[in-house]
Homo-oligomer: A and B are copies of this chain.
């Protein structure tokens, strides 16, 4: 006679059509009970269309009816809040203050590095007015869902992605929203998206220290922050503002990544520091955080990003960074959100 636990495991492995995860991957199983050979199964149907519900009902019944000692099965659905489904282990925020230093690149590479190590990873693109993530990963589908919740879109290697650009019919439509709307959509990405079980949710912030960073740092249980900076003094000055914002809000900074450190020119076998001599170590030290990586300008990576094939990137740097990232994230202690007093200059 099969146990309730074993049934959970078996039905948990079933993939959900149209969604690139299993029933357990999305943490949809709410209850399994066996009574006189009858299995009563309760599934969270948050975000699932009628057709998918029918499919799930059939697939689950079929699976369960093949189990030893089960003669009858009933599948019930309940719509619960995505917040009660989502089990996200660690939220990592990629932040800079400065634009164009490669926040999205570092967010993307972080997700890829962790994914390659076998983790379930999502990216919440909090750059509402200038989103880069969908293009890098070549995801263009509109997210599916119902009133109870919406699903992220899945990249080629199974990274969950939610971005404002996925909600637009045309990616070049400007989102002309003032601050309160920006804050509201970020909260929606957090509260109404069915992320399911994730080991890591990477958040890609826009430049600046205004609505988007404030909303994310104030409202989400952030485990750690990765600071991205560039070799220019000018960049370091603006990035320091973001570092000070994170400290001011008592959020742990995991470390800093210097991007565009140098360009390697094979013809002369030389690294050219086109944006000025790298002071990566000194700069990270002045921020009071460890230096996690120095990423060179790699024209092949630029091409991959432009083609939406960032997931094909092969590089020793990425492997090293992935290991180091896992290490620092494991160490980071999430700050309980209730301990953070909302502070705002006005």
Contacts and interface: CB of A to CB of B under 8 A. Distances in A.
A67 interface: no
Tallying the copies of this chain within the complex gives 2
Interface stretch (A50-58, A77-85, A143-151, A209-217): A209-217
Contact of A306 (B178, B214, B234, B272): B234
Contacts of A129: 97, 207-210, 241
Given A129-B97, A130-B98, A234-B136, A214 B302 contact: no
Contacts of A233: 135, 306
A136 B233 CA distance: 10
Contacts of A211: 178-179, 210-211
Contact of A99 (B100, B173, B306, B345): B100
A206 interface: yes
Contacts of A344: 176-178
A71 to B, nearest CB: 56
Nearest to A259: B100
A235 to B, nearest CB: 8
A132 B208 CA distance: 12
A34 B307 CA distance: 74
A276 interface: yes
A178 B183 contact: yes
A11 to B, nearest CB: 41
Nearest to A215: B178
A244 interface: yes
Most chain B beta-carbon neighbours within 10 Å: one of A172, A177, A233:
A172
A346 interface: yes
Contact of A131 (B238, B268, B305): B238
A208 B206 contact: yes
Given A130-B99, A241-B174, A272-B263, A302 B232 contact: yes
A99 B130 CA distance: 8
B207 A174 contact: no
A237 B101 contact: no
Interface in A276-311: 276, 297, 299, 302-303, 305-306
A180 B182 CA distance: 12
Contacts of A172: 237, 240-241, 243-244
Question: Across chains A and B, which 5 residue pairs bring their CB atoms closest together, nearest first?
Answer: A100-B100, A99-B99, A179-B179, A129-B208, A172-B240
Given A98-B130, A207-B207, A234-B306, 14 more contacts: A98-B99, A99-B99, A129-B209, A171-B237, A174-B209, A174-B245, A175-B210, A178-B179, A178-B214, A179-B182, A181-B346, A210-B211, A233-B306, A274-B299
29 contacts: A98-B99, A98-B100, A99-B99, A99-B100, A100-B101, A129-B207, A129-B210, A132-B234, A135-B233, A135-B234, A172-B240, A174-B242, A174-B245, A175-B209, A175-B210, A176-B210, A176-B343, A177-B210, A178-B344, A179-B180, A211-B211, A263-B263, A265-B265, A265-B268, A267-B270, A272-B299, A274-B297, A276-B299, A276-B303
